């Protein structure tokens, strides 16, 4: 009888041991990928194989810094039709009949809350149409429109600088190049429009 209980307790101890070791393994697992990431300090991803020539779009150095230092942003100024704006908006009087409607009649201004829409000069500089202006004396080039947008949308700008809003162009590796605000948003009507999806999925089963 004594021998039996000794064997039994030995078995029980073994069983308990197996159980506990199983728990430990499971516990170690829960740390997982988060722990691995936290400890990681990979050297800054310089990729010399990626050059400016790999970007089809023109880019400029941003006037901001992200956690990894300077970065570049898609240039927008040269993409504006009829730039420079002072070609029409200058000291001379505009002689074309109905010029405003012909030049900017396509613009739908849906920016700002309903009933309190923004007006042209909320962003455009009245005395120099080649520039933007969010506040008197704060002139901004079209390439750096994020400085104007960020004047109101500071949360989005903070996320954009860090990398949670907007996106990198072409490469995840190499020196950082990101899209500008106006690369994705129409500044006059910034909300994305309702449309049909590009494709559809079949039922799962």
Partner 1 sequence: MGVPKKDEYRAVDDFVGRILSRKNDRRSFLKGAVVTGSALALSGCGNGLPGMGEESVLAWQEFFKANYRLMTETEKRDTVTRLEKLARIRQGIDVRISTREPRENVLFGYGFNISRCEGYMDCVAACVKENNVDRRSKTQYIRIFEMEHGKMNVDAGDGKYFHEVPVDGHFYMGVQCFQCENPPCVKACPTKATWQEPDGIVVVDYDWCIGCRYCMAACPYWGRRFNWNDPEVPSSEITRRQHYLGNRMRSRGVMEKCTFCIQRSREGRNTACVEACPTGSRVFGNLLDPDSEIRFVLAHKKVFRMKEELGTEPKFWYFMD
Binding site for partner 1 (CB under 8 A): 26, 29-30, 32-33, 36-37, 40-45, 47, 49-50, 66-69, 155-156, 159, 162-168, 170-174, 179, 184, 192, 194-204
* Nearest to partner 1 of 78, 159 (CB atom): 159
* Nearest to partner 1 of 133, 187 (CB atom): 187
Contact 149, 162 (CB under 8 A): no
Residue 73 C-beta: closest distance to partner 1, Å = 14
Residue 69 C-beta: closest distance to partner 1, Å = 8
Burial 19-46 (b: 16+ CB within 10 A, else e): eeeeeeeeeeeeeeeeeeeeeeeeeeee
Residue 110 C-beta: closest distance to partner 1, Å = 16
Residue 31 C-beta: closest distance to partner 1, Å = 10
- Nearest alpha carbon to residue 55 among 202, 178, 145, 200: 178
* Nearest to partner 1 of 66, 83 (CB atom): 66
The backbone region for 199, taken as left when phi is positive above 0, alpha when psi lies in -120 to 50, beta otherwise, is: beta
Tokens of 64: 């901001």
């Amino acid at each position: 009888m004594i021998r039996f209980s000794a064997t039994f307790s030995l078995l029980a101890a073994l069983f308990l041991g197996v159980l506990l070791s199983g728990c430990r393994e499971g516990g170690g697992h829960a740390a997982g990928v988060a722990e691995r990431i936290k400890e990681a300090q990979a050297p800054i991803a310089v990729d010399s194989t990626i050059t400016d020539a790999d970007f089809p779009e023109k880019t400029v150095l941003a006037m901001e810094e992200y956690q990894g230092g300077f970065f570049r942003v898609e240039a927008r100024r040269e993409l504006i039709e009829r730039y420079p704006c002072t070609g029409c908006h200058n000291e001379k009087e505009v002689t074309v009949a109905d010029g405003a409607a012909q030049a900017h009649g396509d613009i739908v201004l849906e920016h700002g809350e309903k009933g309190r829409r923004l007006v042209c000069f909320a962003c455009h500089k009245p005395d120099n149409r080649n520039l933007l202006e969010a506040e008197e004396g704060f002139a901004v080039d079209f390439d750096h429109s994020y400085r104007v947008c960020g004047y109101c949308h500071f949360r989005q700008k903070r996320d954009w600088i860090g990398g949670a809003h907007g996106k990198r162009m072409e490469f995840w590796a190499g020196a950082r190049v990101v899209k500008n605000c106006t690369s994705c948003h129409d500044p006059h009507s910034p909300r994305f429009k309702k449309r049909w999806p590009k494709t559809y999925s079949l039922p799962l089963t």
